[in-house]
A and B are shown apart, each in its own frame.
Chain A
């Protein structure tokens, strides 16, 4: 579409219309985000103003502090941060190991095992959530349970119940294997001839090369856990175990919604993700560029 043989006037009009349409649609996409920002800085009275306010008369920056004073949002943020970080670290280690082994090593059952993992891409969370709830509830010798897993609540309402459901993600394993496959084989061969230990080959040669792919997996997973709603909704029951998403839903659940504080909390919850998205875009491009030069 670079080549255009129509007249310059036609081309300019067409281009103008194109940008007009794109800007119009961008406005629709961004409108809710703008409204979140306006409400987060509004006084309670301005929320119900008719016509709606375009911008608060006096921006109420203290709304952002009040979020932490009137609710346990700080605790929810900490919980979310812990769960997202630990699960991300876990996934990066597990997928790094498995991706390398599936791509570069030969061992009995390799194809079968990889296919099994790939097939679980088709298993949605909503099917496994009820069994996981029951399994976690009857986890032996935890949360008041006896050795047969009855009597108490097992590991429900704990960090492990929020972290474990995320550790088995076929997507990360698949992505890591694809990336490792693109790295050259002769490094393994050369290292083996030099008598390097199998684990050292992975740890010292391939893991550092795979950093861009690991960063992409880490980013995707952190965002997914940060935004997850169903798992914390099912697994936790007390206020001190709320994560950001369930805490936000709690705000909206009450009869009288405190819109200004709710939107301030939404904005706070978005900031880490938006920052990571901006940084991540660069990582994504670097990852692609690296595979391009090596490929």
Chain B
């Protein structure tokens, strides 16, 4: 039999291939349309209405958005969210890069330590939350006992209006580490060994080696870690519900928690949707900003 020299990546497609291709992607497309794309547009529509579930949604234009930007509780929730995100992502990224660099040069036991650092990621926020709830308890928590050994008096931590958010941030950093360490370790594999050896032979200082050999290679990894961490942390919710319930007062009420309360406690579906949409746009905007900024950094190099 004579084989035709037709290459696989040709232009023509058999009707069978086209038909079956469409059939195979049909389930996934139907699910995405019904469960992601339609709800997204529905959220946009809801945010322009007043809707309490009892009566049909009433169109009110941009009133919910006007209300949002005049509502100190909403603005406070967005502020808390931003502080939490910056306070968690920046230290966690620096710390996890240091840990990854240490692990990368430790040679022995790297797998073990990587597993240990990843453990908090395997557990749910609720499971981790209740453990920290006990540790930080003002009355009998072990953390206050530890402080007492250094002569520091009892602190309120999560029950204290000024300490609650920093405590949440500390716990957030503790959990974020594992994820970032694992990604950084993968990124560090990309550094050519001969470059490091050359730097050593030249007697370059540790800092210079880091700045000029390691950092340029792992810059994309760093950006990936930062952008994904920003996206995740701006949606902070589970840990707040478990650890503080948004209190004391409104000290730890984040944007998603505010939206949740508006929707399922006050039944203001429209306003809750507006808050969610604004957060969604903030997440998109911030990610794009970070990506453009990192692109410019790369261009300058």
Q: Are B279 and A198 in contact (CB under 8 A)?
A: no
Give the dominant DSSP class at A's interface: helix
Q: Does B104 contact A (CB under 8 A)?
A: yes
Given A252-B133, A273-B122, A131-B42 contact (CB < 8 Å):
yes
Q: Does A19 contact B (CB under 8 A)?
A: yes
Given A28-B174, A120-B36, A48-B134 contact (CB < 8 Å):
no
Task: Kindly name the residue among A39, A106, A170, A233 whose own CB sees the greatest number of chain B CB atoms within 10 A.
Answer: A106
Kindly identify which residue among B106, B131, B242 contacts A249, using a CB–CB cutoff of 8 Å. B242
Chain A residues closer than 8 Å to B212, beta-carbon distance: none
Given A26-B117, A113-B25, A167-B174 contact (CB < 8 Å):
no
Question: In the bound complex, what is the Cα–Cα distance between A247 and B244 (angstroms)?
Answer: 17
Kindly identify which residue among A110, A126, A277 contacts B279, using a CB–CB cutoff of 8 Å. A126
Question: In the bound complex, what is the Cα–Cα distance between A287 and B117 (angstroms)?
Answer: 22
Q: Are B46 and A130 in contact (CB under 8 A)?
A: yes
Given A29-B120, A32-B132, A97-B24, A22-B140 contact (CB < 8 Å):
no
Q: Are B127 and A52 in contact (CB under 8 A)?
A: no
Question: In the bound complex, what is the Cα–Cα distance between A193 and B57 (angstroms)?
Answer: 58
Q: Which residue of B lies closest to A150 (CB)?
A: B56
Chain B residues closer than 8 Å to A277, beta-carbon distance: 118, 122
Among B8-16, B68-76, B160-168, the stretch that binds chain A is B8-16
Q: Does A182 contact B (CB under 8 A)?
A: no
Given A32-B132, A202-B24, A230-B280 contact (CB < 8 Å):
no
Chain B residues closer than 8 Å to A105, beta-carbon distance: 17-18, 20-21, 24
Give the dominant DSSP class at B's interface: helix
Task: Kindly name the residue among B31, B129, B283 whose own CB sees the greatest number of chain A CB atoms within 10 A.
Answer: B31
Q: Name the interface residues of B169-183: CB closer than 8 Å to any CB of A.
A: 174, 177-178
Given A131-B273, A202-B24, A35-B142 contact (CB < 8 Å):
yes
Question: In the bound complex, what is the Cα–Cα distance between A229 and B25 (angstroms)?
Answer: 30
Among A56-64, A65-73, A184-192, A210-218, the stretch that binds chain B is A184-192
Question: In the bound complex, what is the Cα–Cα distance between A170 and B37 (angstroms)?
Answer: 12
Q: Does A208 contact B (CB under 8 A)?
A: no
Kindly identify which residue among B17, B196, B276 contacts A107, using a CB–CB cutoff of 8 Å. B17
Chain A residues closer than 8 Å to B235, beta-carbon distance: 124-126
Question: In the bound complex, what is the Cα–Cα distance between A39 and B269 (angstroms)?
Answer: 41
Q: Does B83 contact A (CB under 8 A)?
A: no
Q: Does A10 contact B (CB under 8 A)?
A: no
Q: Does A157 contact B (CB under 8 A)?
A: no
Chain B residues closer than 8 Å to A51, beta-carbon distance: 145
Q: Are B40 and A26 in contact (CB under 8 A)?
A: no
Q: Are B105 and A1 in contact (CB under 8 A)?
A: yes
Q: Does B224 contact A (CB under 8 A)?
A: no
Q: Does A164 contact B (CB under 8 A)?
A: yes
Q: Are A135 and B196 in contact (CB under 8 A)?
A: no
Chain A residues closer than 8 Å to B82, beta-carbon distance: none
Question: In the bound complex, what is the Cα–Cα distance between A189 and B9 (angstroms)?
Answer: 10
Q: Are B238 and A128 in contact (CB under 8 A)?
A: no
Q: Are B106 and A22 in contact (CB under 8 A)?
A: yes
Q: Does A145 contact B (CB under 8 A)?
A: no
Kindly identify which residue among A47, A100, A101, A131 contacts B39, using a CB–CB cutoff of 8 Å. A131
Q: Are A227 and B28 in contact (CB under 8 A)?
A: no
The 10 sampled A-B contact pairs (Cβ below 8 Å) are A1-B104, A94-B28, A107-B17, A113-B29, A126-B235, A193-B3, A234-B264, A244-B124, A249-B242, A274-B122
Closest 9 CB pairs of A and B: A107-B21, A227-B124, A105-B21, A198-B20, A131-B39, A101-B24, A98-B28, A131-B42, A128-B39
Q: A2-B197, A126-B279, A134-B42 are in contact. List 7 more A-B contacts (CB 8 A).
A: A2-B107, A29-B174, A98-B24, A105-B18, A126-B237, A199-B20, A277-B122
